[in-house]
Amino acid sequence: MSYRRTFIKQLSAAGILSTMPEILKAEAIVHKVSDDRIWACLMHLSFNFASGILKPKWGDGLREEFEPEESLWNDAISKMAIQGVNMVVINLDDSVLWDSHPEISLRNSWTPKRLREELGKIRKLGIEPIPMLNFSSTHDAWLGKYSRMLSSEKYYEVCKDLIAEAIDLFDNPRFFHLGMDEETPSYQKHFDYIALRQNDLWWGDLYFYLGEVTKKGARPWVWSDYVWHHPEKFFKMMPKSVVQSNWYYGENFDLVQMDENRQNYVKAYIDLETEGYDQIPTASNDQNNAKSIGNTVEFCRKHIDDKRLLGFLQTFWMPTIEEFRNPILQAIDLVGEARKNFEQK
């Protein structure tokens, strides 16, 4: 905790590079499971990261009970194995009965034992499971009462405990996804309770999370949309050891035909490559955009050096319930198709 406070004070007085924690300056930690490029899907145990977002198809308000339906979960994981998906990022949040903080857990959450059993099944299918906890203040309702203690001593204690427990449960995964997307006023303007970090506080808290992940031997992974709004700050402050997932869910990658906002989303892939970041570009099929993953793969293979293009991530922003069976399974099929096309060229 003290290194974060020291960092904030020093940052104002002495600039940026001299204050970055040494653990974050180190070479990227890479625990290679295989030489395969990553073909990943994001699966949701918890969906409370989206509880404040106005999307009627997801239902309103904070979920209080464990939601995923085992029939769809099992079928989705099996389809991933068939389609050559070799990594699944699991959005854990409040859907685990955490030993360290059971008070945040939903009713009927998976116990640590149940989660470990599931991770074992996933690995036997040749799929690498990766934990995700989204610490963006726009997506942290899953933290319960602690989401309203943002950047306090108690908050840091809870986040530290959860990161450590998740890494232990996943038996020292090579990556840990921290989220950190969409922490801007526009995404919270309809919230009853608004909490935002910016400037040095946002970066200080990010460095806290990165440090907790790194010292446990995993490599941090984040969403990259901060770069859309603050590119100069981003490239000065973001350690190269942090894996970047820029995301753009459109099907059109022709910059000439785009408005300025969309240009920023797509250009970020090129800018991250120019600055030398490892990337896992991200697509989605949740908006009738089936070509998103295939076109993302084609664009990024042309603009990102092969040694920094770690792989690709397909998202489907839907709870893991039978109502969304068809689009979720379709999303996985689309990854298989994109991988096949990639490897044939």
Structural domains of the chain in order of their starting residue, each with its CATH number: 2-12+37-344 (3.20.20.80)
Q: What is the pLDDT of residues 148-164, one digit of tens each?
A: 999 999 999 999 999 99
The two structure tokens encoding residue 97: 């009965």
* pTM for the full predicted model: 0.91
DSSP state, residue 56: G
Q: What is the dihedral of CA 244, 336, 291, 40, to 10 degrees?
A: -20
DSSP 293-332: HHHHHHHHHHHS-TTTB-EEEEE--S-SSGGGHHHHHHHH
CA 131 – CA 167 distance, rounded (Å):
7
Q: What is the pLDDT of residues 181-204, one digit of tens each?
A: 999 999 999 888 999 999 999 999
State the pLDDT at residue 19: 45
Query: Please, are residues 296 and 339 in contact by the beta-carbon 8 Å criterion?
Result: no
Helices (H), 26-85: 70-82
| 3-class state of residue 91 by DSSP | strand
Q: What is the pLDDT of residues 218-255, one digit of tens each?
A: 999 999 999 999 999 999 999 999 999 999 999 999 99
Residue 25 has pLDDT above 60, yes or no: no
CA 242 – CA 237 distance, rounded (Å):
11
**60, amino acid identity:** D
18-43: average pLDDT? 63
Q: What is the pLDDT of residues 109-151, one digit of tens each?
A: 999 999 999 999 999 999 999 999 999 999 999 999 999 999 9
The confidence band for 15, taking pLDDT boundaries of 50, 70 and 90, is: very low
The two structure tokens encoding residue 254: 């022709």
Pick from 116, 95, 217: nearest CA to 170: 116
Residue 2 has pLDDT above 90, yes or no: no
Q: What contacts 52, CB < 8 A, 6 or more positions away?
A: 138, 139, 141, 188, 190, 191
177/11: higher pLDDT:
177
State the pLDDT at residue 18: 45
CA 132 – CA 154 distance, rounded (Å):
21
DSSP state, residue 145: G
Residue 330 has pLDDT above 60, yes or no: yes
Q: What contacts 46, CB < 8 A, 6 or more positions away?
A: 63, 67, 91, 92, 93, 94, 95, 106, 142
Task: Please count the residues of the chain.
Answer: 345
How many CA within 13 A on the CB side of residue 119?
Answer: 23
Residue matched to tokens 């306090």: 152
Query: Please, are residues 162 and 100 in contact by the beta-carbon 8 Å criterion?
Result: yes
